[in-house]
Amino acid sequence: MSYSIIRVAKVKSNTNTTGLQKHIQRENKNYENIDIDLEQSHLNYDLVNDNPIDYNLAIDKKIEENYTGKRKIRTDAVKHIDGLITSDSEFFNNQSPEDTKQFFEHAKIFLEQEYGKDNLLYATVHLDEKTPHMHYV
C-alpha cells in the first residue's frame, strides 16, 4: 500500500535559502545526490511560477508586505519553511505522467488552502530524480 509524505523544515538564513534555490531550480552543474539525472531536468516544472525566481528576494518582499509588528525582526527568526511532498516509488510507477501531474496539482491546492494562495511562493516538481517530488515554500 502506498503512502504520502509531507516534510517541513524551518529555514532561518539567506545562505540556506540560496542553497535551496540552487538545488530546486537546478542552477548547479554537479550534485552530490547520485539520484539526480541532469539529462531529465528539463522535465521539472514549477506550478506557481513560469520562470525561475530569486527566493531570497521573493521571501523578503513577502515578509516586508505582511509584517505588522513594531519590533525589528530577530536575526535568528525563522524566515520561511522548506517543504517537500511525495509518495513512495511504487505509487508513481503505477501512475501515468498525467496522473503524476494531477497528484502534484492536488497537492498544490492543499497547500494553497493550508497556507493561503498568496503565501505559496513556489511549488517545483522534480521528475529528474528516482522518485518524483515537489518542493514548496
Domain CATH code at residue 109: 3.30.930.30
| Residue 67 confidence (pLDDT) | 92
| Residue 6 confidence (pLDDT) | 96
| Residue 48 confidence (pLDDT) | 97
The helix/strand/coil state of 75 is coil
| Residue 33 confidence (pLDDT) | 87
Owning domain of residue 118: 4-136
| Residue 1 confidence (pLDDT) | 80
CA distance 102 to 75: 39
| Residue 88 confidence (pLDDT) | 94
Residues in Cβ contact with 63 at an 8 Å cutoff, skipping those fewer than 6 apart? 73, 79
| Residue ranges, the chain, pLDDT below 70 | none
Its pTM stands at: 0.92
The total number of structural domains that make up the chain: 1
CB atoms under 10 Å from CB of 134, counted, come to 24
